[in-house]
Structure 1
Amino acid sequence: MTGMPGRPSIAIVGSGFSGLGLAIRLIGAGFTDLTVFERGGDVGGVWRENTYPGAACDAPSHLYSYSFELKPDWSRRFAPQPEILGYLRHCARKYGVLEHIRFGCEIASADFDPETGQWNLRTAGGEVHRADLLVAACGQLSVPAVPGIPGLGDFAGTVFHSARWDHGHDLTGRTIAVVGNGASAVQFVPRIAPGAAKLTVFQREPQWVGWKWDRRYPRLRTALNRRIPLLQRLSRLAVFVWFEALLNPMLIAPRGRRVLSAHIRALCRTTLWSVKDRRLRERLVPGYELGCKRVLVSSDYYRALDLPQVDVVTSAVVRATPDGLVTADGREHPADTVIMATGFRTRDFVAPMRVRGLTERDLDEAWRDGPRAYLGMAVAGFPNFFLMYGPNTNVGSGSVVHMLESQISYIVQAARALRDPGVLYMDVREGVLDGFDAALQRRLDGTVWNAGGCDSWYLHSGGGGADGRRRNASNWPGSMLGYRRRTRTLDPSDYRIVMR
């Protein structure tokens, strides 16, 4: 192919792990006309936004990082939020991405022009930008999900979501209501419970919580990592093999689940036995198959629930009053602070951006039966457009950074294809997407996420078929290596290539 200097112009929306990693690789591949649009004032994505007490990664640090930029001096096996954010800032500086980022710039809409083969991007402030290639690196976990609790507007106290933590609100001596008991609550409840006068956790469904084998790395380990980089790579490989060879089969294959589930369940129950109150312990035992929801890790969550000032309520919250929350059993629970630990709007892969492709078709309309994309990246009818951490690219065990690096390699190949001055646009074929998605959903039917008997954020209403089943638009039903193989080479025959 004959390349055109500077072409294609590339727009990336978001500067978290996915957006930064892609920008770094594109710059390294010689793409100069590159802009990263970031609505916040700093890089980091979810690690910039989630600053609640105890925020940390639940995948080991050595694997939760770019393969091309290992960090020898992680302080702990499971890195805390400030350290991960610092790592991403370091990467943005080192690889020259900062000069390509427009901070405080939210993309409100993106419209494809088939005549020019370009995307017209409009910012929230009304500016218009054009790009040949558009990448949405917004992620699945970027927009907080806030339940519409009737009467919450009349609550006289303070309300905030865990992803928008109010650090100016002192929780010492407060009567706190925590709505939700997922991954965020498991991390921050142990930090705030000891200082609270009263803390009530409103639990919709119990979670499987395993022991968090966390520890601080000694200085000797850091020194050895610096002197012998292979040591850190071997550590990273060992963690990768643990996830790929042991944990992942438990989630995706019925035979693997039977073999390994009993062992992991026993470990989780050992953690549960740290709760001394028998009646409380009974409320914390899940009734669904292990792995159906994300398995959480914590060494102190159950101990926090066992404190005398902490209560766990299993009746659903139905409304709020000025003085607290009322549950379905008619009880009112006093509170002066309500913290929503209710997760994220996992269907909003491009939120708050509105995307229109060929014939002005809206992406929300294309996804009315549930989000789907070829290899989690390309959507038919939306040329020169790719998603990162899109539909069905989440992993139930392992590190999503490995999945992102697979996508980065694939998108860089697409950018190289668009260097050809004769190519107007490339659009994944509808039949290719349909075939991929049908096979994907068949594989998902046998996984614990679909067949484990729980209600999780992995499942979405719509597109479940005549039997009423809900559609899994989140998880990849295979190994990380399997995804790497599928995305290693972009096959031009998967796309409709339109020439100028």
Structure 2
Amino acid sequence: MTPRTVQIAILGAGMGGLGMAIQLRRAGIDSFVVLEKGSDVGGTWRDNVYPGSGCDVPSHLYSFSFEPKLDWSRKFAKQPEIHDYQLHVTKKYGLRPFIRFNTEVADARFDEATGLWHIRTVAGEEITANVVVSALGQLNRPAYPKVEGLESFAGKQFHSARWDHDYDLKDKNVVVIGNGASAIQFVPEIVDKVKKLTIFQRSPNWVVPKDDRPYTDREQSMFQRFPWTVKLHRWMIYLTLERNYLAFIKDSFFSKLFEKAGRAELEKYIADPKLRAVLTPDYPAGCKRVLISNDWYPAIAKPNCETVTSPIARVTADAVVTHDGKSHPADTIIFSTGFETTTFLAPMKVLGLGGRDLNDVWAKGAEAHRGVAVSGFPNFFMLYGPNTNLGHNSIIFMIECQINYIMQAIDALKNPKLRWLDVRKTAEDAFNDELQQDMQKTVWAAGCSSWYKNAEGKVTNNWSSFTAKYWWQMRQLDLDEYSLVG
């Protein structure tokens, strides 16, 4: 095929990719393409359609600041409403002509001679671009456990992020492997339908109440008539969540309050002392993702629900066998085992200056300058990259900070004498040294294993401080931190 050349190529049409495309259009830049492997926009909110799927960030903060939604139905929106919002902004800003659906990227290679990125799709098409913005996110590739005998299982098996709605769970013996953020949403939805629900738990979670409810007609009317009240409401939510960062500082007063709330919730719903012991974490709150729910504990306390902590030994045609020798009947296995989070851009290959492979550069753990740029990979930027995930606030806030930063880089590249920007290794190292030093003060760096860390125990996903600090650092692009090649 004849190569196609654009100024900017965006990889992914989730919240990050849509936000980036909107800002390009608002800036009058139309020479861009969004490459999306799926058949529609939405990313994780297109894929995660399991029963009860929703967001654990309040609705009014889980939306773009420049495009507020005045009519959120409840304080914590469910998946259909969030996806509808994504479809709305796609239509309003005329993004569909710029999006190439069902187009998965195989690799991207930087050509030093021309200063262009050559992007090759899985179908073999090549696209060239001055700038590449990866908006692939951290929660897009389901992780599956390695369990002996899965191939011999005669029943139905699927991942929660690939839910099969055509399959009827009624009166089935259902096994759920994993008890994380997805499980606590879909288990309460299915527990009354199934014959027996067996949850395999590797470690318990800290679970705190969810302050959720529908917005009243009066509130909806106020938001519609006085849009400034939505801005005020959004700011109040932001400041409340920002304060919660204090709960993730090791041994802080607020962390103890968090744990107290978690224990109170456990004692409120779980009367059985044996089950309560099984569900009590032995690590600081926040070391793993803190979960919010009002119906998780009531669901797993039901008589047809069993929580199993003995590790899985193997799977047979009709059961899951644990190391203690017990056999648990199974017609269905649902994997609630999360995502491959620490490899970031994999399986896509990214080759920078001198043919260096980003996967090799990240062999000991992914890191980037301010979470968006990597030395040796000119004009390549990331949204929701290394160390920009949050445990206490809205990732949309972080993404908007990143988009603003990248837009400044794109503006600098309008200079006809400038071919590319490449962040200096010294600047990148200084940023990450400070970040990892700050990280040691937080519970995210505590001894437990979590999806925030790689196999070596390095926290590669989370931001280490208040989001206000990140905003302050990202408000202005510092060209002194970059090598400018003309």
Equivalents in 2 of 1:359, 1:325: separation in Å?
49
Deviation at 1:348, TM superposition (A): 2.9
Deviation at 1:155, TM superposition (A): 0.5
Deviation at 1:270, TM superposition (A): 2.0
* Corresponding residue number in structure 1 for 2:478: 491
Equivalents in 2 of 1:337, 1:392: separation in Å?
36
Number of matched residues?
481
Deviations 1:307-353 (A, max 9, x none): 11100001111211111211121212110100000000002322332
* Corresponding residue number in structure 1 for 2:86: 88
2:306 to 311, 318, 342: 311
* Corresponding residue number in structure 2 for 1:426: 421
Uncovered stretches (5+) of structure 2, i.e. residues with no partner: none
Question: Structure 2 matches for 1:370-409, cutoff 5 A?
Answer: 370-409=365-404
Equivalents in 2 of 1:269, 1:68: separation in Å?
39
TM-score by length of 2: 0.97
TM-score by length of 1: 0.95
Q: Which amino acid letter does the alignment assign opposite residue 490 of structure 1?
A: L
Equivalents in 2 of 1:318, 1:92: separation in Å?
47
Deviation at 1:385, TM superposition (A): 0.2
- What is the SS of the residue equivalent to 1:183? coil
2:257 matches 1:263:
yes
Deviations 1:177-220 (A, max 9, x none): 00000000000000011111000000000000011111011222
* Corresponding residue number in structure 1 for 2:215: 217
- What is the SS of the residue equivalent to 2:35? strand
Deviation at 1:485, TM superposition (A): 0.7
2:204 to 203, 206, 231: 206
* Corresponding residue number in structure 2 for 1:248: 245
Q: Is the CA contact (8 Å cut-off) linking 2:108 and 2:117 kept in structure 1?
A: yes
- What is the SS of the residue equivalent to 1:47? helix
* Corresponding residue number in structure 2 for 1:327: 322
- Find runs of 4+ consecutive structure 1 residues off by over 6 angstroms: none
Deviation at 1:261, TM superposition (A): 2.1
Deviations 1:458-477 (A, max 9, x none): 11124xxxxxxx21101111
Q: Is the CA contact (8 Å cut-off) linking 2:342 and 2:452 kept in structure 1?
A: no
Deviation at 1:69, TM superposition (A): 0.7
2:147 to 146, 149, 168: 149
Equivalents in 2 of 1:440, 1:395: separation in Å?
14
* Corresponding residue number in structure 1 for 2:295: 300
* Corresponding residue number in structure 2 for 1:108: 106
- What is the SS of the residue equivalent to 1:177? strand
Q: Is the CA contact (8 Å cut-off) linking 1:250 and 1:261 kept in structure 2?
A: yes
Equivalents in 2 of 1:490, 1:249: separation in Å?
28
Q: Which amino acid letter does the alignment assign opposite residue 368 of structure 1?
A: A
Equivalents in 2 of 1:168, 1:263: separation in Å?
43
Equivalents in 2 of 1:75, 1:241: separation in Å?
22
Q: Which amino acid letter does the alignment assign opposite residue 69 of structure 1?
A: E
Range with greater deviation from structure 2 (415-424 or 482-491)? 415-424
Q: Is the CA contact (8 Å cut-off) linking 2:177 and 2:336 kept in structure 1?
A: yes
Deviation at 1:396, TM superposition (A): 1.0
2:281 to 280, 286, 306: 286
1:448 to 431, 437, 443: 443
- What is the SS of the residue equivalent to 2:91? helix
Deviation at 1:278, TM superposition (A): 2.0
Q: Is the CA contact (8 Å cut-off) linking 1:378 and 1:386 kept in structure 2?
A: yes
* Corresponding residue number in structure 2 for 1:3: none
Uncovered stretches (5+) of structure 1, i.e. residues with no partner: 1-6, 463-469
Identity, in percent, stands at 47
Equivalents in 1 of 2:118, 2:203: separation in Å?
44
Q: Which amino acid letter does the alignment assign opposite residue 485 of structure 1?
A: W
Deviations 1:283-330 (A, max 9, x none): 100010111111101111111111111000011112111112111212
Deviation at 1:148, TM superposition (A): 1.3
* Corresponding residue number in structure 2 for 1:437: 432
Deviation at 1:282, TM superposition (A): 1.2
Equivalents in 1 of 2:415, 2:96: separation in Å?
28
Q: Is the CA contact (8 Å cut-off) linking 2:6 and 2:33 kept in structure 1?
A: no
Equivalents in 1 of 2:407, 2:347: separation in Å?
25
1:228 to 203, 226, 229: 226
CA RMSD of aligned residues (A): 1.1
Q: Which amino acid letter does the alignment assign opposite residue 458 of structure 2?
A: R
Question: Structure 2 matches for 1:111-190, cutoff 5 A?
Answer: 111-190=109-188
Deviation at 1:8, TM superposition (A): 7.1
